[in-house]
Amino acid sequence: MNIISTLRAAMVALTPMAAVALGSAALAQSPAPSASPAASPAASPAASPAPVASPTPAPAASVAPVPPPAETKSPADAPSTAQSPPSPPPPAAGVQTADPFGEEFTLAPKKVVIMKGTANWDAAFDTLIDSFKALNTLLDKQGIKASGNAMIVYTSTDDNGFTYLAQIPVDQEPKNLPKTMTMGNSPEGKALKFVHRGSYDNMDNTYEAITNHLDDKKLEAKDTFIEEYITDPLKTAEDKLVINVYVPLK
């Protein structure tokens, strides 16, 4: 906003200068018509000075300065088009300026059914989807409805892949849990909240933006982070996902 206002002020300041330049040019050109009366001294030498003094200054003073003010609207409009470059979302296609980005947030613990897993980066999203499907299948068989959004808690990462906890909040505890599943609580405490929109493949862009934000603010994050799937990943097209990312701070 400040940059646009400054540009706009600069353009407006340039307008009077353009008007003065145009007026000076018009005044410089106005004596030219006087040459025609002066060119006929043989006809009426005494009468020629009178017409020269009255017609030529009047058009130069009234007509020439009029066009510049009318033209000042076009340069003033130029800054309005300059507003379009800042409008695209900052560093990531999945990040929108209207969404919270780095907002302070307090995570409240929830009772969740948990499934542990590991995944490599090439098949990351498919692996997470399989975990969510397994959890939902268990809940559906026992007639238990989720009481919140599905989550992924990343417990460790490296160049090859990561370990995670797939979690679904519930109000009642399922029975006969398989060995791959447990009951527990979701993470709690202070964190920063970020929002990602779009496919899981574009999460790299969002996390890069998060890293830059933490560096700029000189903040240090814990070794874990949480993704809360606001849209159901089992029913939503991958490029339409909305995911809240929570980054707990040390």
Residue range 159-191, pLDDT digits in tens: 999 999 999 999 999 999 999 999 999 999 999
Q: What is the mean pLDDT of the chain?
A: 74
pLDDT band with cut points at 50, 70 and 90 for residue 83: low
Tell me the sheet residues that pair with 163.
118, 156
Report d(CA 185, CA 153) in Å as an integer: 11
Task: Assess whether pLDDT exceeds 70 at residue 14.
Answer: no
Query: Of 167, 195, 170, which is closest to residue 101 (Cα–Cα)?
Result: 195
Determine what percent of the chain is predicted with pLDDT higher than 70: 61
Read off φ and ψ for residue 223, nearest 5 degrees.
Answer: -85, 10
Q: Which DSSP category does 48 fall into?
A: T
DSSP-derived 3-state class of residue 151: strand
Token duo for residue 207: 């996390």
Strands 242-248 and 151-157, sheet pairing: unpaired
Residue 243, pLDDT score: 97
Residue 97, pLDDT score: 57
Read off φ and ψ for residue 168, nearest 5 degrees.
Answer: -130, 120
Report d(CA 82, CA 126) in Å as an integer: 43
Report d(CA 248, CA 121) in Å as an integer: 22
Residue 128, pLDDT score: 97
Token duo for residue 84: 């379009």
Range from 97-101, 151-155, 196-200, 232-236 carrying the lowest mean pLDDT: 97-101
How confident is the model over 53-78, as a mean pLDDT?
Answer: 47
Please state whether the predicted TM-score (pTM) of the whole model is above 0.85: no
CA distances from 137 to 113, 143, 185 (A): 12, 10, 20
Task: Assess whether pLDDT exceeds 70 at residue 59.
Answer: no
Residue 96, pLDDT score: 57
Task: Assess whether pLDDT exceeds 90 at residue 126.
Answer: yes
Residue 40, pLDDT score: 41
Range from 14-28, 67-81, 102-116 carrying the lowest mean pLDDT: 14-28
